[in-house]
A and B are shown apart, each in its own frame.
Chain A
Amino acid sequence: MRTTIARRHLLRSAGALGLALAGPRLALAEAKTLVAATFPGTWSEADRNVILPAFKQKTGAVATQSIILGGDQVSRLAAAKGNQPPFDVAFFDSPQVIDAVRDGLIVEYPVAKSPNFKELLPSAQDKWGPKITMQVIGIGYNPNKITTPPMSWDDLLDPKYKGRVGLTALNSQLGIAFLVEVNRLKGGTDDNFDPAFKFLAQLLPNVGAIAANLGAYATLWQQEQVDIAPYNFNFVQTLKAKDVPVELSIPSSGAVGWSTSLHLVTNAAEPELAVQYIDLHLDASIQDQLMKPPYDAIPTNAHVKLEGAITKSLVKSQDDLAKIRTIDWEKINPQRSALIDRFNREIKT
């Protein structure tokens, strides 16, 4: 008798639990959700801490982040082509835009629906999607271990750094840009990467660790497992804010950079929300906030005056931004998988 009552009670509570678990899912379906891609590192934090709350306040909708590298975003969108895309907002570096436009993965940006668009610098107003920032690479180093900032990429080869040099896998923009820049400095061209791989082979004895992804890379710095490595201005600033000993030095060969932009994906589930989300990134007050530590993102809105770490380490004014050397991605893109493959073979132990 007791067991029957207990069992019935159990069945009822299990049923109630089941309904309870199913219930909120139905409720969640009511609140609108936008899935937006963002880059690992500085930008995922910037988006999460600044953009997401502002978005919720402005639209009442909830935004979900998909933290994924630009190259992987293109792959995911291509795989889902014809069906609903895994995210509605794409976050690309310059190279990905070319591939995405060619494959029909993004649509032209509906400028009319985006009030902040015309406030951007003319160079940032691209019909496929507004450019929201620039990223610059240089030589990251631990100021506690290395007292004079390294001024040349060749410093990485210095025997006194044996086992202390870091590298990141080529799937990230940082990795590819480093390879391309070194290639250029060593006399290679966009068609011939042998000088770059020769440099890599010389570098390998000095290399202490190669991180598979940017999170692991950050861990290497935090655990002081590497002292000198190619790095990106924004990532360095973000780590500094977390008390990690790292500084960025722009080598005398000059700063290399590229722009980063946001795009509306083809067949987006929530296109209206997507445009509002992107538009928020273009707002002067938001860009001003993102320019401050710990993000130090270079702004593209003409009304935002450059200040802070950007002016100290990189450029003094908006005009100087145009002087940062860029890369011809049209030539590099088709070689991307071949380069990644060759890199993986070189570094495999």
Chain B
Amino acid sequence: MGAPDSKLVLPLAALFIAFFVAPLFVLLMLSLHDEVAMTSWTLGNYISFFTDRFSYSILIDTLLLGAKATLVCFIFGFPVAWLAARASARWQSILLFLVILPILTSVVVRTFSWIVILGRYGVLNQIMLALGLSREPLRLLYTEVGVVMVLAQVQMPLMVLPILSVLAKMDPNLPDASRALGAGEWRTLWKITLPLSIPGIVAGCILTYAASVTAFVTQSLIGGARLIYMPLDIYQQAVGANNWPYAAALSIIFMVSVMAVVAVLNAIGRKSETHGLG
């Protein structure tokens, strides 16, 4: 039953090799040359990146941005998943609908609406001033805080769905047993629920992280000119400065960095899995 079916994977595999692996390979090649015609090999692009504090500070800022957005997303997303897992089928559907809604509205639309919300006289400041929570309008637009906020909102579905999927499949006997043995809800959460939902949490974090670091539209519309992250740098070098080899090097460095973080998160996840059940 197995062998003939395996051939079904070939069409997609062929497409990926031709249109995914090959371009990435060409990208790597281009990054190791001086110009697009690829006449002379050089490590110059990489050297100039790593010897320039400005350049690799952009990389560090981007990787940290992803971490911050993922953290905020987790703090707010886990409760949503936790409550949804306990909700009745109807409420669950409603909650999920609300959670998926942002990811299905155009990213440009969503980011644009945040400009209206975070501006000096935007909605958020109007509320803050009206409630007396602040005496002066807050500066949120064009700050990293603003970018983190918008990223967390935009990527929240990516965090909630994997966690919910794991929580929903979790054996309900375990928390019940915990409660029967006298442990409070918080203890149950800490000792039972969280460890068992690590696979979902890790999956959610990986997806959220990967999406946040590459969120070009959000970073540039909310961040402005002073907050430069890798996607904008790549775009500016590629389209603005026409420096394709350097942009290619930036892309490779960016991809490798994100893959490294994802691999680390994955490893943490797998280690906690075996540890938690032991």
Contact = CB atoms under 8 A, between A and B. Distances in A.
10 contacts: A72-B239, A75-B242, A79-B244, A208-B139, A210-B224, A212-B225, A223-B120, A344-B54, A348-B226, A349-B226
A71 B240 contact: yes
A168 to B, nearest CB: 8
A167 to B, nearest CB: 8
A212 B224 contact: yes
A215 to B, nearest CB: 9
A216 interface: yes
A225 B141 contact: yes
B221 interface: yes
Interface in B82-123: 115, 119-122
B226 A210 contact: yes
Contacts of A347: 225-226
Interface of B: 54, 57, 115, 119-122, 139, 141-142, 220-221, 223-228, 232, 239-242, 244
Interface residues of A, number: 25
B119 A75 contact: no
B120 A224 contact: yes
Interface of A: 71-72, 75-76, 78-79, 168-169, 171, 208-212, 216, 219, 223-225, 337, 344-345, 347-349
A347 B224 CA distance: 11
B141 A349 contact: no
Contacts of B227: 349
Given A72-B239, A75-B241, A223 B121 contact: yes
A216 B221 contact: yes
A65 B27 CA distance: 31
A337 B119 CA distance: 31
Nearest to A71: B240
Given A72-B239, A348-B54, A225 B120 contact: yes
B226 A76 contact: no
A212 B119 CA distance: 16
Contacts of A209: 141-142, 224
Contacts of A168: 225
Nearest to B58: A348
